[in-house]
Every structure is written in C-alpha cells, then in structure tokens.
Amino acid sequence: MRKLHHFHGGVHPPSNKAQSTRTAIAHAPLPSRLAVPLHQHAGEAAKPIVQAGDRVLKGQLIGMPDGFVSSAVHAPTSGTISAIDMQLIAHPSGLPNLCATLIPDGREEWIARRSVDYREHSSAELQHLLRMAGVVGLGGAGFPSDIKLRIGKQKITTLILNGAECEPYISCDDMLMRERAVEIVQGAEILRYMLDADEVLIGVEDNKPEAIAALQQAITAGGSALQQNKRHEVVTIPTIYPGGGAKQLIRVITGLEVPSGKLPTDVGVQCFNVATAYTVYRALAHGEPLLSRVITITGNVRNAQNYEALIGTPITELAALAGTLPDTSGYIMGGPMMGFPLPALDVPMVKATNCIIAASEKLFPPPPLPMPCIRCTRCVDVCPADLQPQDLYWFAQSREFGRAQKFSLFDCIECGACSYVCPSHIPLVQYYRFAKSEIRAREHDKQLADQARVRHEFHEQRIEREKREKAEKLAAREKAAQTAKLAGTQSLTPQQQAAQTELEAGRAHIIELAKSEVEHVKE
C-alpha cells in the first residue's frame, strides 16, 4: 500500500454531496438558445469565425484560438448563429463578454468526426489537436490543456489525476468516475503517453467508494498496457478540505513539496482533473471537441442531480430541471468555499462550470457582522499553504501590498478555510482577492509606464542620432567645399588671393552683423 503524507491544516465542512449522487447523470434537454462565450478559458479569447445568419453543424469551429494561451470554441449543436455580441457570462467580474448566440435546429447534425490513434502521433501533434478541440482544464481554472502538456525537456515522473473533489456540494467528478471510469483511464493513458510519465496516480477521497471501485475495475479491464509496471494506480486519500488543491494533492500522494512560486512540473509532476482526462479521450478517440460537460445542480432544489449539459446552456434552464424552490435567493457557481455568486441568472454555463448551487437564507444564512481580529491564530492552524492569514489580512486592509507579497500572498489558493474558522467572521478571502487584484493592477500600470518610458527614451535617442548625423553630413560637406576652395585659390596670383581673402572677410562680417540683428530682434 502506498505511503501517504499530510499537508498542513485543512477543515471538515459538511460535504452535502449525497443529495446529488442518488441518481445517474441525466442528459439535459436541448435548450431554446445557447450563448457560447468566446473567452471561457485562461489566456486570450478565441476569435469568432462565424457571423450572424450562418448555419453551423454540431462540433463546428466557431472561435479560432488566438494567441499562445488560447483554445478553440465550437458550436455545441447544429442550428443558426443569431448574434455575435457582448453578453453577461458566468464570471466573478460580472462583466460582459463576446458570445455567439446559437438557435438550435433540433437535428443535432454533426461535423465529420475523425478518431485518432494517439500512438501514431507525436506529443506536439496531439497538443495541436487538443488545442483545436477546445480542451481546457475542467477542474475550475479552465487552463488550456495543450499548454500544460508542453513541458519541454523537463522529465515528468508522475501524472496525477485529480479525482479528490473536496469542495462540499459538488459531485460531478464523483459521478463521472462512477459511470465513465474506462474513458477516464484511457484519457489518463493518453496524457501519460504525451508527457512520457512513468506512472499515473489517480487521487480520490475516501468518501467516494463507488468511484474508487469503478476506476480500479477500469484499470484491471484496461489490460497489460495500463497494468504494466503498475503504471496506473488509484490512490485513496483522506477526505479533508482542500485536499484537491494541486499542491496539497501532490504532497499527500507523493510527499513532494512544490516550492513557493514554482510549478508541479518543477518537481517532476503534472496534474489534470479526471473530467479533463475524459475530455481528452473523447477528443482523440472519437474526434469530439469539448461541447458539453457534467454539472451538479444542487442546493435549494427539489431534485439535486448531475446533468450532462451543452456549453452555453442558460443557467435558468438548468436550474428549472432540478426544480428550484420558491425561497431561492440566488445562485452560486462552484462550491460554497471557493465559488462566487452569479451576477445574473440568465448567464450561460461555460466549460469551467462544474456546479450551480441554488442558495437560500436557510442553507446559507447571512454571515454575522465582522468583528476585529483577536489574533487567535485559528486561521494559521487551518491554512493549507502554511501562510499567516491574519497578517495577510492586516496588510491587505492597510494597503501594505508590498508586505503582503513578502508574506507570500500569491501562494494563497483562496480555499476559504481561514474564513471558515474565523470566530470574528472576517471575510478574509475577499481581502486577499482585493490585495491580489490591486497588486496585479499596479504591476500592469507599471508595465505600461515602463513601456512608455522606453518609447520616450527611444524617441529622444532617435532625435539625437538624427541631429548628430545631420551635423556630420554638414561638416563633411563644408570640408569638401573647403578642399575644393583651397584647390581653386592655389591657382590664383598673389594679388587675386589677397582680393579673395578681403572678399571673404567682408562676407563673414556681413554674416556676423546679420546674426547680431536676429539676436536683437529675438530680445
């Protein structure tokens, strides 16, 4: 049995997952309209390549990746594009984003799909295919997966599949592992091949026994390729929040510590979510771009359940499927610890939408008014990143951002464990988010100012250079004229030379007089 390790801190909030795991994943019906955001992943937005009025097929490319960190966007079903415009999307900023609105025709007519045998392709070729299939991390961050697979010369020893799903209420990964374990394991093998990793460890919390059994069975059924040298292994880890944080999971499974400011690849590990592995398999083995995902609809609803829904489906239509109760006061995207309230209900689900919680005052009573920090250090005890949350709070509040950075603010994973235990009910994470955004904004401003300064210096240097070149040309011309003149005067008689000298002295005198007159006029 594999030896497990511990990370510092962690909390045990009520899991509230049972409500949504009683029934199998259902397919959400085709919605009345889909709004597909062109920016639903980290990095640059995809560039729209369709126009209003275009008929599109299911899986057709509608947004081309634009930039190094970017990913493709596709039509989730067949129909007609009715608009390309700015709409509100499910994002904490509450800002609108460019979306393609698609009116489904109900035919679900696919593009031609081509399956690929990954063993016949290089990692670089497969990375390109995944980029064009719009595959991004489905664990929440939405980072384009092809970028995480470009590891250069670094040796990756271990690929970790994250099936911990430690956030309360969320159960989409659990249900996916129970029902589609074979595809997840096949996707893991593709990722292992691409990274040339020695082993695949699938980390699952011990509160998901059905998922663990299904994965183990899938590995056994996968035959020699998966079992060779025990390449694939399900690792059961203790249930503790936030055990699914990448650094925490790596620590628990391998004992390796990812240093501050470093990436898992720096210690020879790469992590992907189990749902991402599933999507990688569908993209390569079936030629299906990322058009849908499993999403948990839970909270203040009659029938909490997991649905496979098309990207772009309005949240209102999904919430209606689960039967929202009349006293619902709002909706949270993600879990109660790390999620955020939706800016409006009529927003579309995106690739990163793993859970929608209907909230009510009964489920989430308004927090008591914050009180002053009493330096009890309970937040320190639970912080999984070994930070001093009370000091970070103080620096953020007093806008001492430099000191917050020195105290490793950016190592904070915003898990909310500190806020969860704070007896003074201080919304600590909000302070950290504020401090981070201020620092990023200042760095952005500084970058712009630096660029402007470099541009100005370059401009000054150019003017100086042009002046110098002009003066050099003038001097060269004068020298040439003097040489020519000297050559001319040498052929004059002494009387002619004297007359010439007198003439030039007269000219110089006239020029001096003219100059002094100009100076006089200026004064």
Q: Please report, as ranges, the residues that interact with ligand SF4 according to CB under 6 A.
A: 373-379, 382-385, 387, 389-390, 393, 412-418, 422-424, 426, 428-429, 432
Integer Cα distance of 60 and 500 in angstroms? 88
Shorter beta-carbon distance to ligand SF4: residue 149 or 385: 385
Is 72 or 418 the residue whose CB approaches ligand SF4 more closely? 418
State the minimum distance, in angstroms, from the CB of residue 5 to ligand SF4: 18
What is each CA distance from 434 to 290, 341, 387, 400, 427, in whole angstroms?
33, 16, 17, 12, 11
Task: Give the tokens for residue 140.
Answer: 């929440």
Do the beta carbons of residue 168 and residue 17 sit within 8 Å?
Answer: yes
Closer of 76 and 264 to ligand SF4 (Cβ): 264
Nearer to ligand SF4, 333 or 383 (CB): 383
Instruction: Return the bridge partners of 143, or none.
Output: none
CB of 408 vs ligand SF4, minimal distance in Å: 9
The whole-angstrom separation of Cα 282 and Cα 192 is 16
Minimum CB separation of residue 260 from ligand SF4 in Å reads: 12
Q: How far is the CB of 11 from ligand SF4 (least distance, A)?
A: 9
Query: By C-beta, is 126 or 373 nearer to ligand SF4?
Result: 373
Please, which contacts does 14-17 make with residues 24 or more away whose CB atoms are closer than 8 Å? 14/168, 15/168, 15/169, 15/207, 15/239, 16/168, 16/169, 16/298, 17/168, 17/169, 17/170, 17/171, 17/174, 17/207
SS3 of residue 90 by DSSP: coil
Residue 424 CB, nearest distance to ligand SF4 (Å)? 4
Q: Evaluate whether 206 touches 173 at the Cβ level (below 8 Å).
A: no
Helix (H) or strand (E) holding 252: helix 246-254
Q: DSSP labels for 105-161?
A: -S--PBPP-----GGGS-HHHHHHHHHHTT-B-TTTT--BHHHHH--TTPPP-EEEE
Smaller CB separation from ligand SF4, 193 or 407:
407
What is the nearest approach in angstroms of ligand SF4 to the Cβ of residue 418? 3
Least Cβ distance, residue 363 to ligand SF4 (angstroms): 22
Nearer to ligand SF4, 47 or 403 (CB): 403
